[in-house]
């Protein structure tokens, strides 16, 4: 069983759909992250949940909504997305300031 598990691995959705990405970590970490990676662009931090504090990148549109019900689970709720939101969405977890471990990612295509 991998340390950080993301589902689904691939998702195709229309612009009017609502979907959610799920992430679960089995490492006992206290911080979880959502990153977006578009083609030919660097990793972009979207949201961090750390010791029950949420920090967000102010440039992330409101059509992305995170939820962290506990330290092991993280969701990214998606609604009314745009084609430019198509990207690889990566979840990661870490213990405080130490190294982060990534899930395998969700390849999202918005049509």
Partner 1 sequence: QKEVEQNSGPLSVPEGAIASLNCTYSDRVSQSFFWYRQYSGKSPELIMSIYSNGDKEDGRFTAQLNKASQYVSLLIRDSQPSDSATYLCAVNAAKGSARQLTFGSGTQLTVLP
Q: Which is nearer to partner 1, 16 or 99 (CB)?
A: 99
Q: Which is nearer to partner 1, 75 or 102 (CB)?
A: 102
Nearest CA to 36 among 87, 94, 92? 87
Write out the two tokens for 5.
């598990």
Write out the two tokens for 66.
């995170």
Contact stretch for partner 1 (CB under 8 A) within 20-28, 36-44, 67-75, 76-84: 36-44
Contact stretch for partner 1 (CB under 8 A) within 18-26, 66-74, 76-84, 103-111: 103-111
Write out the two tokens for 19.
């979907």
CA distances to 68, 80, 110 from 14, in Å: 25, 8, 6
Would you count residue 48 as binding partner 1 (CB under 8 A)? Answer: yes
**Could you give the CA distance from residue 23 to residue 31 in angstroms, rounded to a whole number?**
12
Q: Which residues bind partner 1 (CB under 8 A)?
A: 33, 35, 41-43, 45, 48, 50, 53, 55, 88, 90, 92, 94, 96-105
């Amino acid at each position: 069983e991998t340390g950080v598990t993301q589902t689904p691995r691939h998702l195709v959705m229309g612009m009017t759909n609502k979907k959610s990405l799920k992430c679960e970590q089995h490492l006992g970490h206290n911080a979880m992250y959502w990153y977006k990676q578009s083609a030919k662009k660097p990793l972009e931090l979207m949201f961090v949940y750390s010791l029950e504090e949420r920090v967000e990148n102010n440039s992330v549109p409101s059509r992305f909504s995170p939820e962290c019900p506990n330290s092991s689970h993280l969701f990214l709720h998606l609604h009314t997305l745009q084609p430019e939101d198509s990207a690889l969405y990566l979840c990661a977890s870490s213990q405080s300031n130490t190294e982060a471990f990534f899930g395998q990612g969700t390849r999202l295509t918005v049509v």
